[in-house]
Chains A and B, each alone.
Chain A
């Protein structure tokens, strides 16, 4: 799986969880760029991503994320 495929899959998850249409994620997208991405939906996104890829992030890993690129890297580390 490459980062581009991952980004489009994540965009779908974001659209579904945030109840929005047309979110297109880029590696440098961060919470400040999407209005609905707040401290509450952040947790819902994590749960949805973990369920989709059947993986489990550690708390420290999650707290290191600064943008979508970091999330992608964590997923790639666990699925490759």
Chain B
């Protein structure tokens, strides 16, 4: 015989009021991430095409040109984020545009860091 016992589950219905925050600083971070990622995706093929630039990027003997190639996009990310974050503090901006810039930047970063792509720019 099947067990026909039933259990009733009641969950709480509550409300909470919180102060909403402006989206400016978050949108600044989306854009900054896109710019940092795009910088990485552009610096890599550029350093392949220009041997002098690759040499310039060698800021540490052990790490080689990878040192400059990674420090520049990282610093750029934090600088753009700080500048836009200050400018947009307490302000609302368009999230769709910021996210689009961020994602396009990441697409450039992913494409530019893929070896078959950047090796196509290697100086002969």
Asked if A and B are interacting partners, one says no
